[in-house]
Structure 1
Amino acid sequence: MSSCEMEGPAASEVMKSIFRTTLHEIGTPINGIVTASRLLQQELENGNQEFIQELIQMIGTSASYLQEIFERVRQAAQQENLHRFQLDEIIFDFSKLLDGILHSMAPLFMEKEISVVKRISDDFPHTVFSDRTYLTQIIYNILTNALKYSPKASRVTITCFVRGGEKLCVEIADQGIGIPAKELPYIFKEYHQIVSGVPSRFGGMGLGLSIVRNLAEVMGGNVEVKSEVGVGSVFTIVLPWKK
């Protein structure tokens, strides 16, 4: 039976799952475009041409990410096992990928005056063999959480390093409100809100970390978390180094 012939509750649940996940995934790039567009309007009046060009590039980067999501969902909708994640591994420039993510999210961090520090160890590979779209989603979602739960004028630090010569690690540390110890066992469950009452502008459906965990596991890795209330959280993406 082809995907277009699926009927009944199973098909309905699959489509609901795709809809919910997609709705969550497009939240950050859309907010990035909206914020950058507002800043662009202000700069058109001020006449700072360099910043205007930078904002235009930010809008373009976010739009490209939206296009990637659309294409992945379109492909999934044509498959029989719609609810299963399908890997599409390629060789790509990791540093360029990370820079693109940070560039597209820059307006959101600027709005909260959050500084972003990037550190890449000397032994971290220039190119990696992995699923580019899924890795983008993982990093986007963790950075979105850092943005959502961090106070104004704080700092987010991204550190990339190799563990044991065989694991690629991307560590994202924030100075946010932190996660209570009793909540840590549940943060990767669907629809679980880390902290209730936080504005949902950046996607408050409780799907972000669930998506992160699922995608990391499909890619043969995992996600580690350390957190302290009032100090911040550290999420570490651990993936196999496929040389």
Structure 2
Amino acid sequence: MNPKIIAFDADDTLWHNESYFRDTEKKFYALLEAYMPEHALAKELFRIEMQNLELYGYGIKAFTLSMIESAMEISNRTIKLEDIEKIVSYGKELLEMPVELIDDVEQVLQSLSTRYRLVLATKGDLLDQHRKLTKSGLGKYFHHIEIMSEKKERDYQRLLNRLDIKAEEFIMVGNSLKSDILPVLELGGTGFHIPYHVTWAHEHVDRDIKHENFYFLEKISTLLDHLPK
């Protein structure tokens, strides 16, 4: 391993995120419990989210629009205006959430930034991700910030081209096997998977990963033990 750049995902790798979405979903299900049970509501919301993905992309605003659309369909357009206003308020609450760093993140970035070029490579809403990065106080550690609309092989290849490095000189650290790890491995890079305790259904990968450049870590602090001194 001879990395020139180490890239980090943001949501649920550097700071907590998905657990806030889950709390909001619970409020949404409670609001619509008169129309159908929670498991059916969850299935319908996820269907609408997937249907809207190409139009809205990822992030809180896309999630809020999908909640509104789901509520309209589930209620057969009979949902009250005040309930739509509540859903909008749920989205605003998410946008105003504090940024809570995951344990040991800043210490790890501080240590690595003296030896490597660090990159933030995350997907989502541009404005919201920049807001969270600013609130986190971590921006000073990154050589380059990349807010991606998707994280597939072609997207990582474009990133590698911009950074002017080969895939074998690139390490990606993230919580999602689907978005952070597998595309990088396919290109010939190295992936460090640090799972988060909550995973969005869209990011699930139901198979074991066996690859010479794949590493599983229980927490981010152990990343330092695997890199050249």
| TM-score calculated relative to the size of structure 1 | 0.25
Higher relative contact order (CA 8 A, sep 6+): 2
